Structures are given as C-alpha cells and as structure tokens.
C-alpha cells in the first residue's frame, strides 16, 4: 500500500503543551496552572439565551457569514470599544472560534512561498496554519528586555521581498505582553512602508489591565490592511461554544467567506444567539471577570517578588511568564521536575517558540485558593533548587 499521508502534515510537529497534562491527569493531588481557558462558567443570562433559542426551535443553519443581527452587534461593539466602524454586511464573518479566523485569513491571503512574520513566544497555531496555507513562516524572536513587545526594527530585520503578512498576537499568550498606543504607532509606519498585511489576533482584548485595549486598526491606514480576529471564548468565558469573528476589508473577508462556506458552512446557531445576548448585555460580566483576573495577577506578581523570581509585569491575557534562567535548567527540565517533585504543572516557555527558553507560562485562570497552594509548592521548589547550588 502507498503511504496514505501528506508529507506536509506529517512534518508538522504536535503542540508541546500536551505532554505535561497527560502526566497531570494521572497524578493524584497534582495542581495544574497550565490551562488556557477561563475558570468561570458562561454568565447565566447568556446560557439562558442559548437554551431559549433551542426551545424556540432555532436549530437551522444560519447564513454563511453568520446571523446578521450578531454581525450588527459586533459592529456596534467594535465601535464602542475600539472606535472603528465595520460594515456588518460586508466586512464581518462569524467563525468557529478565533482559531478558524486565523486559518482562513492565512489561506485567503497566501500564495506558495509568501512569507508570514510570526512574533514568538506566541500561540502555537500560527506557524502550522501558515505552512498548511502554503506560506513560509518567518519567526521574530521577541525579547524579554522589551517586555516581549514587537518593535519596528524587529519587523524590518525580518522582512524580505516575499514578506506579505504580519501576525500580531497581542495581548499575548503566553507572555501576557500588550502593545500600547505608542508601540502600535511605531510599527504601523513600518507596516505601511513595507506594504504588509496584518492578522491581528485580539482574542484577549478584554483582558487588558493597564488602560483599555488599543487595536492596530485604530492607527491611520491600518484598517485597510488588517484582518481583526476576536471571539467570545476569553472575554465571556464561552470557550465551549466555539465562536469567534473576523473583520476586515471586504476584498479579503469575501474570500475568507468562500473558504468558510466550503469547509464549515456556518458557525453553530445556538452559540450565535447566545453571543448576541453577550454583546448586548454582557459588559458588566466582562468587567467582573477582568477584576477577578487582575486581582490574581497582582497576587501572583507579589508572590514572585517575595520569592525573588524574576518576572516582568504583564498587563494582558491571564498568563504570567517568569524567568527561570537563574537555575541553570531548561524550561522543560524545570517544568518536569516541578511536576514530579511538587506536583505543580506549568507549561515550559519553549512550547510557544524557541525563544521561550528560560521561561514558564503560568496561567491564572484559577481561583486564588488554588493559586495559593500552587505558589507555596513553587516556593518550596525554588528554595530547594537554590540550596542545591
């Protein structure tokens, strides 16, 4: 029999996050600080709308782009939050999570050989999705000394004649880094100069703790060359509903819709009805969850300070990214020993790119009580490591 598999897909290596969780699931008393999804349930009024839509028999497909009412609410929301107007009929598509948006945006924009700039450490899907779309990933290694923000120099250094797309993953998973207005202004100039297109993954936009989130599309000339990706998973604790959206120039959105209609048809109908309620009446819930995350973030940062563990202050998402270079171990070794000796699971920074070496991703999508136990174990562990030296 011939080899049934595509060489392209076989050569893509599986995500590195999984390994630790497989161990955790078999280990009694292990505490995980590894999960990248909210620990809250979807607010009840949103769930209730989903249930109500089922009771009413709204179990049909929606149009390919999604319910117009939902796209209208998204358009209102974006105007309210980032002061940018999108035509709900032509510049918006409802996707199955932000992940689908990333995939179809890349597929709609890339020809074989086109280069995609991917800043790392970042979410693990950009690279494989680029390869699957026939593009060539070009990694930008973000630096701890810049608090893992992207600088115009880094873009220029990575650009070639074939560079077409820049992925902009802020607020960032796994570092918690954000891009403030000044940072965005600087890179916008370079993006225009090099005639790049941007896929701005703003799934964590509501989880910004410094000032309100600023989007690249707010910079002059950027809306015309940006696909904005967002969704309901993180802001409204709706991960399981699988719902996101992409907004951008009609020219690109219409081609994305073509891909979407052939492989997905439309996003889940129940989720779309629930999402309308989320956007209409969910601002308070988002604020409450943001406050809770922010308290945990401050709590963690303070605990690291007391332990003497080096960590820049992250202002976004629900991750902190402490540096463990002082212990002379790789991230993988550190995480493995921490799990074996103290039964705390964290994700090695290297799961998000080679430049994550020497760092750990710690999620604070956990209750304070949970964090307290985990932190005291981490503290014991690093005390022991220091005394071994």
Partner 1 sequence: MREEILRVIEKNSRIETKELAVRLGLTEAEVVEEMQAMENEGIICGYHTMINWENTTDEKVTALIEVKVTPQRGEGFDHMAERIYNYPEVQSVYLISGGFDILITIEGKTLREVSQFVSDKLSTFESIVSTATHFILKKYKDHGTIMTKKHEDERQIITP
Task: Give the binding site for partner 1 (CB under 8 A).
Answer: 14-15, 17-18, 21-22, 24-25, 35, 37, 39, 123-125, 291, 295-296, 298-299, 302, 368
Strand-pair partners of 269: none
Minimum distance between the CB of residue 102 and partner 1, rounded to whole angstroms? 11
Q: Give the whole-angstrom CA distance, residue 280 versus residue 51.
A: 17
3-state SS, residue 118: strand
Distances (CA, A) of 331 to 16, 23, 168, 188, 281: 12, 17, 25, 34, 42
C-alpha count within 13 angstroms, C-beta hemisphere, residue 61: 7
DSSP state letter for 311: -
Token pair in block for residue 214: 């600023």
Give the whole-angstrom CA distance, residue 50 versus residue 111: 39
In the bound complex, what is the minimum distance in angstroms from residue 298's beta carbon to partner 1? 5
Nearer to partner 1, 18 or 258 (CB): 18
Q: Which is nearer to partner 1, 88 or 356 (CB)?
A: 356
User: Are the C-beta atoms of 353 and 121 separated by less than 8 Å?
Assistant: yes
CA distance 170 to 167: 9
Least spacing, CB of residue 121 vs partner 1, in Å: 12
Q: Return d(Cα 201, Cα 286) in angstroms, integer.
A: 19
For partner 1, the closer of residues 52 and 299 by Cβ is: 299
Contact 152, 190 (CB under 8 A): yes
**Least CB distance to partner 1 at residue 197 (A):** 23
Query: Do the Cβ atoms of 252 and 105 come closer than 8 Å?
Result: yes
Q: Which is nearer to partner 1, 37 or 147 (CB)?
A: 37
Task: At 50, give phi and psi (nearest 5°).
Answer: -60, -45
We find the least distance from the C-beta atom of residue 295 to partner 1, in angstroms, to be 4
What b/e sequence results for 125-154 when a residue is b if at least 16 CB atoms lie within 10 Å of its CB, and e otherwise? bbbbbbbbbebbbbbbebebeebbbbbbeb
CB of 18 to partner 1, least distance (A): 4
Cβ nearer to partner 1, comparing 260 with 296:
296
Name the minimum Å distance from CB 15 to partner 1.
4
Look at residues 303, 314, 287, 282 and name the one whose alpha carbon lies nearest to residue 376.
303
Question: Which residue's CB is nearer to partner 1, number 209 or number 359?
Answer: 209
CB 296 → partner 1: shortest distance, Å?
8
Residue whose CB is less far from partner 1, 1 or 10: 10
Q: How far is the CB of 229 from partner 1 (least distance, A)?
A: 15
Is residue 36 within 8 Å of 97, Cβ to Cβ?
no
* β-bridge pairing 244-247 and 226-231: antiparallel
Whose Cβ is closer to partner 1: residue 94's or residue 351's? 351
As a whole number of Å, the end-to-end CA separation of the chain is 56
For residues 47 and 58, which CB has a smaller minimum distance to partner 1 in the complex?
47
């Amino acid at each position: 029999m011939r080899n049934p598999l595509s060489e392209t897909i076989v050569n893509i290596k599986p995500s590195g996050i999984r390994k630790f969780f497989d161990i955790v699931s078999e280990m009694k008393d292990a505490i995980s600080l590894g999960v990248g999804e909210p620990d809250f349930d979807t607010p009840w009024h949103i769930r209730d709308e989903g249930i109500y839509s089922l009771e009413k028999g709204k179990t049909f497909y929606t149009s390919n782009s999604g319910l117009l009412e939902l796209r209208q609410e998204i358009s209102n929301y974006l105007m309210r939050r980032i002061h940018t107007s999108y035509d709900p009929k032509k510049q918006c598509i409802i996707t199955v999570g932000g992940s689908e948006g990333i995939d179809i945006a890349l597929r709609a924009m890339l020809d074989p050989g086109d280069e995609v700039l991917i800043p790392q450490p970042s979410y693990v899907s950009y690279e494989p999705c680029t390869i699957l779309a026939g593009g060539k990933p070009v990694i930008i290694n973000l630096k701890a000394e810049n608090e893992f923000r992207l600088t115009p120099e880094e873009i220029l250094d990575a650009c070639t004649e074939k560079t077409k797309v820049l992925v902009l993953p802020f607020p960032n998973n796994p570092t918690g880094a954000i891009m403030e207005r000044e940072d965005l202004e600087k890179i916008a100039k370079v993006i225009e100069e090099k005639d790049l297109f941007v896929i701005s993954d703003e799934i964590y936009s509501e989880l910004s703790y410094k000032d309100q989130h600023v989007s690249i599309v707010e910079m002059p000339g950027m809306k015309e060359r940006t696909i904005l990706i967002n969704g309901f998973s993180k802001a409204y604790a709706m991960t399981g509903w699988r719902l996101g959206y992409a907004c951008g120039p009609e020219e690109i959105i219409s081609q994305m819709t073509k891909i979407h209609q052939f492989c997905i048809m439309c996003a889940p109908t129940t989720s779309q009805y629930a999402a309308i309620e989320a956007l209409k009446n969910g601002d308070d819930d988002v604020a409450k969850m943001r406050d809770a995350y922010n308290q945990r973030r401050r709590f963690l940062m303070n605990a690291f300070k007391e332990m003497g563990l080096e960590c820049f202050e992250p202002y976004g998402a629900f991750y902190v990214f402490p540096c463990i270079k002082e212990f002379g171990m790789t991230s993988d070794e550190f995480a493995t020993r921490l799990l074996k000796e103290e039964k705390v699971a964290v994700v090695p920074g290297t799961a998000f790119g080679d430049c994550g070496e020497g760092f750990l991703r710690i999620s604070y999508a956990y209750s304070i009580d949970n964090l307290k136990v985990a932190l005291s174990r981490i503290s014991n562990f690093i005390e022991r490591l220091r005394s071994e030296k």
